[in-house]
A and B are shown apart, each in its own frame.
Chain A
Amino acid sequence: AKKMINFEATELRLGLPGGSHGGDMAVKNNGKRGFSETIDLKLNLSSTAMDSASEVDLENMKEKVVKPPAKTQVVGWPPVRSFRKNVMSSQKPSTEVATEGTEKTSGSSGATSSASAGAAVAYVKVSMDGAPYLRKIDLKLYKTYHDLSDALSKLFSSFTIGNYGPQGMKDFMNESKLIDLLNGSDYVPTYEDKDGDWMLVGDVPWEMFVDSCKRIRIMKGSEAIGLAPRALEKCKNRS
C-alpha cells in the first residue's frame, strides 16, 4: 500500500484523484470520483463505499485508484460491434445489460458516433521534452488523473530518455514518488491553464483540470521544481 505524504513536512499539496484530506485546500470531497474508474455497472462494491462517502478511508481509496482502471471510455473498446451495442440498448430488459464499457448510445447511430458520444471534446496538445512529435488527446475520455497518466505513459512509452520507462509515468500521481520525481531526472507532467500559468498536473480536482487545461508539457523533473510553490500559492488563493 502506498503511504500518504505527510503534508506538513513537505509543504506540498496535491489534489489527490478524488481525494479528500484535511487541510486548507477546499478540495471537493467528491468521494465518487475516486471510485469512478473502478465502477463496473453491476458490481455493488463501489456503490456501498460511495454511500458512506464522508469519512472515506483514504488508504482504501488509494488502493483502488492505483489498480488499472476498469472503466475508461476508449474508442472501440471492448471490441463489440456498434450494431450489437445498439441492439442491446434498444432491448427492453428488466435488468440493465452490463457489458463492460458499453457506451449508452441510446439508439444513436453507433457506427458513426465517436467515443465522446455527444459530449464536448477537450483536445489538448501533449508534448514531451525531447520527443520528436506531439500528440493530441481528448481529456473528456478520461475520468481521473490515473487514467490520464496511464494514457500518457503509453503514448510516449516507446520513446525512452534516460531512466524513464513505460511504468514510470504511472506513478507520477503517487505522492511518495513525486518527491523523487521532482528531485531526479524523471519526467513530470505540467500543464498550461487558462490564465497562461504552468502548473503541475494533479494540482486541482479533475474536473477543474479538464476545464482549465490548455496544453500539457511533460518536462524534466528538475525543471518542474520551480512550479510547486507557485502551484501551491495558486491553490491557496482559490480556496
Chain B
Amino acid sequence: KANQSPLYMTQDRTEMSEDDDDQSPPSDLRSEPPCSSSSSAVDSTPNKSRNCISSSGTMTASQPFPDHVLENVLENVLQFLDSRCDRNSASLVCKSWWKVEALTRSEVFIGNCYALSPARLTQRFKRVRSLVLKGKPRFADFNLMPPDWGANFAPWVSTMAKAYPWLEKVDLKRMFVTDDDLALLAESFPGFKELILVCCEGFGTSGIALVANKCRKLKVLDLIESEVTDDEIDWISCFPEDVTSLESLAFDCVEAPINFKALEGLVGRSPFLRKLRLNRFVSLEELHRLLLGAPQLTCLGTGSFSHDNGAHQSEPEPDYAAAFRACKSVVCLSGFRELMPEYLPAIFPVCANLTSLNFSYANISPDMFKPIIHNCHKLQVFWVCILLDLCLHDSEGPVSELGLQAISEGCRNLESILYFCQRMTNAAVIAMSENCPELTVFRLCIMGRHRPDHVTGKPMDEGFGAIVKNCKKLTRLAVSGLLTDQAFRYMGEYGKLIRTLSVAFAGDSDMALRHVLEGCPRLQKLEIRDSPFGDVALRCGMHRYYNMRFVWMSACSLSKSCCKDVARAMQNLVVEVIGSDDDDDNRDYVETLYMYRSLDGPRKDAPKFVTIL
C-alpha cells in the first residue's frame, strides 16, 4: 500500500501536533487514469523514482517528466532557503516539496540527540554539510544528573563518516565526545572546516591534536566551556606547517599549558585569523607579542592578563596599550582569567569599538570596570561577576535590587539578562518589566531559596507576573524566590511566546504546573527542580508533550506509576526515570524525570541508573 512506503515512515515533523490522520497516498502515486505521460510512468514504477530516500537519490527515469522538471525547479529555489523553520514548513507542503527540501538541506539542527537515530538523519537528508547537535539537558551542568548518562557523539560520527564524506561543520553542545570520535572525524571528512564544542567532555588534547593535524582546511576550532583533559600533548604544534585557513581559534577552557612559540608561529601563518581566545596559560607579555603579530583580530580572549611568575621585570615593560591601540578591529573582548588590575587601562584604546565585553572570569570590582565601560559607547553585551562584598550594602546585605533598577533605567534596549542576587523586590522587577520592553530573555536567580520580597515580605509573584505581562517578546524565563501558584497563573496566561522555562524551589501545588501546561502555547523546554508538583499536574500536559523538546522534573512529587501511565499513553515519548532509589520501600517514587519525544523509540545506550518506562 502506498501509505506504507518509506516516505511516510521516515517523515520527521519537528512541530508535530495531532497525528496526521490522512494516510492517503499522494496524488502522484494513486492509480488514476493517466492523463499525461508522467502519471503512467510513475504508476508503473511507483517505487523507483519517488523513493529517492532509500535509493541513491538520483532520478532514474530517462525522460524529463513534468514532475521532475518541477522538482528541478524546486531544488533550485529551495536551495536558497536558509532558515530551518522555513525549511520545516516547506517540507510539509506536499511529498514533492518534502523530498526536494530533504535533498537541498545542507545544515541540520538537532535539538535533542535522542529524538532520532543517526540512521534516520542520513536516510532523509543526503547532502548535509553542517550539523548542530545538542545532548544533555541543561540541568546536567549543575550536577543534577550522574555522569555517563549518554549523549554520545560516537554513533553520529560513525554514521556520518559513511554518509557525508563532504561534511564541513560540526557544532556540539553538551555531548560526550571521545578522542576516538575526534580521530574518526579528522580522518573521514577531507573538507572539514569547523569544529565547535560547547560544554562538551570526554576528550583531551590528544583528540584536538588529531583534528589540528589532519583537517587541513580547518577554519574554526572553538572549544567553549568544555572539559578537556590534559594529555600533555603539544597540540598547537600539530597544526600543519604551511599557511592555514584558520579564522577562529578558541581554547580558553583548556586547562593545560601550551607551547607559546608554536602558537606565535601559528598565528603568524594564519592570515585569516579573526578570533583568538587564549587560555590562562598565556601571560600578558605573550599576549602582547601575539597582538603585535595579529592586529586584524576582531575577537580576543586575553588569557591570564597577568605576569609570568618569576618573569624578569627589569626590562622596560612592553607598551600594552600600544598593542591594543593597533588592534583597530577588536569588537569583542573576554578572558582576564587572572587579572592584574593595574594593567586594565591597557584596553582603553579598544573600548570605543567594543560591542561585547566579558569580565565574568575576572576578579574585578565595579570600581575597576566603571571607567572601562564608561568608554564603551557601543557596548551590547556585558558579562560580569560581582563580588558580593563590594556591592552596595545596607545593614542586611547587598542591595541587589538597586542594581537591577539601575540597569533597567540605563539600558532601555535590554534584550537579555541573567542576574544572580541574594534577594530581590517586586518593585525592582516590575520596574524592569516596564523599562525594558525588548526583553526576550529574563533569568533572575535569587540565590536564597524561597526568598520573598525582602521589603514587603510578599512572594515574588507580582514581579514575575509583570515581566510576563509587559515583556511581550519574552521567549526565555527563569524564576526564583518565593513563588505561589499565582505566579504560574500569570506565566500561563501571559507567557505567549515563552519557549524555555526554568523553575526551581517554587510553587505551592499541582495547580502551578497546570497553569503552565495549559497555557504557554509555545513552550518547548521545561526544566523544574525541587518543586511540589505531582502526578495530577503531569497528566495535565499529555496533550502537548509531543510538541515539546523535553520536560525535566527532579525532586518533585511524581510517582512511577503515573509516569508509566504517561509512557503507555504516549508511544513516541521516551520517559526516563533517572537515579531512583533502588530501595524496595520506595519503588514508586521518581527522583528525576526526563522525557522527550523520539521517532526511534527508547535509546539503546541507557546506563544502569536510567530506567526507561
Q: B-contacting residues of A (Cβ < 8 Å)?
A: 40-43, 45, 68-70, 72, 74-84, 87-88, 91-95, 97-101, 109-115, 125, 127, 132-136, 150, 154, 157-159, 166
Contact = CB atoms under 8 A, between A and B. Distances in A.
Contacts of A113: 143
Given A42-B389, A68-B448, A136 B338 contact: no
Contacts of B449: 68-69, 72, 74, 77
Given A42-B387, A42-B389, A158-B532, A114 B585 contact: no
6 contacts: A78-B447, A82-B141, A98-B389, A99-B420, A125-B583, A136-B586
A111 B387 contact: no
Given A91-B337, A134-B585, A115 B227 contact: no
Contact of B385 (A40, A99, A114, A133): A99
B117 interface: no
Given A40-B388, A92-B338, 16 more contacts: A42-B389, A75-B144, A76-B142, A77-B449, A80-B420, A87-B337, A91-B338, A99-B388, A111-B201, A112-B143, A114-B143, A133-B559, A133-B588, A136-B583, A158-B533, A158-B557
Given A100-B388, A100-B447, A132 B588 contact: yes
B460 to A, nearest CB: 13
Nearest to A92: B338
Contacts, number: 136
Contacts of A81: 141-142, 199, 225
Nearest to B478: A79
Contacts of B583: 125, 134, 136
B231 interface: no
Contacts of B142: 75-77, 79-82
Interface residues of B, number: 50
Contacts of A158: 509-510, 532-534, 557
A41 B450 contact: no
Contacts of B434: none
B586 A133 contact: yes
Top 4 nearest A-B pairs (CB, nearest first) are A76-B142, A42-B389, A93-B363, A158-B532
Interface string B436-465: 000000000101111100000000000000
A141 B505 CA distance: 16
Interface in B561-591: 581, 583, 585-586, 588-589
Nearest to A114: B143
A76 B586 contact: no
A95 B253 CA distance: 23
B388 A98 contact: yes
B215 interface: no
B361 interface: yes
A123 B465 CA distance: 39
A114 B537 CA distance: 30
A106 to B, nearest CB: 14
Given A40-B388, A135-B586, A78 B143 contact: no
Contacts of A93: 363
B369 to A, nearest CB: 15
Nearest to B590: A133
Contacts of A97: 363, 385, 387
Given A100-B447, A111-B143, A159 B388 contact: no
A157 B363 contact: no
Nearest to B421: A100
A230 B543 CA distance: 55
A68 B397 contact: no
Contacts of A157: 508, 532
| Residues of A contacting B: mostly | loop
A159 B558 CA distance: 11
Given A134-B583, A159-B557, A76 B338 contact: no
B420 to A, nearest CB: 6
A7 to B, nearest CB: 31
A70 B504 contact: no
Nearest to B502: A79
B589 A133 contact: yes
Interface in B94-111: none
B559 to A, nearest CB: 7
Contacts of B225: 81, 83-84
A132 B585 CA distance: 10
A100 B141 CA distance: 17
Contacts of A112: 143, 147
B457 to A, nearest CB: 11
Nearest to B309: A92
A99 B387 CA distance: 7
B337 A76 contact: no
Contacts of B502: 79
A99 B445 CA distance: 12
Nearest to B304: A91
B586 A134 contact: yes
Nearest to A150: B450
Nearest to B448: A70
Interface string B127-139: 0000000000001
Contact of A76 (B139, B227, B389): B139
Contacts of B296: none
A101 B532 contact: no
B422 interface: yes
A154 B530 contact: yes
Contact of B227 (A43, A75, A83, A132): A83
Contact of B147 (A77, A111, A125, A154): A111
Q: Of residues A41, A88, A94, A110, which shows the largest number of chain B Cβ atoms within 10 Å of its Cβ? A: A88
A115 B143 contact: yes
B533 A95 contact: no
Contacts of B586: 133-136
Given A125-B585, A134-B583, A135-B589, A68 B450 contact: yes
Most chain A CB atoms below 10 A, which of B139, B389, B445? B389
A166 B532 CA distance: 9
Contacts of A109: 227
A21 B586 CA distance: 40
Contacts of B505: 77, 154
A41 B422 CA distance: 12
Interface string B307-331: 0000000000000000000000000
A149 to B, nearest CB: 13
A72 B505 CA distance: 13
A102 B208 CA distance: 31
Interface string B192-225: 0000000101000000000000000000000001
A43 B201 CA distance: 36
B585 A76 contact: no
Interface string B240-283: 00000000000001000000000000000000000000000000
Residue among A68, A77, A112, A159 with most chain B CB within 10 A: A77
Given A112-B147, A134-B583, A40 B337 contact: no
A99 B384 CA distance: 12
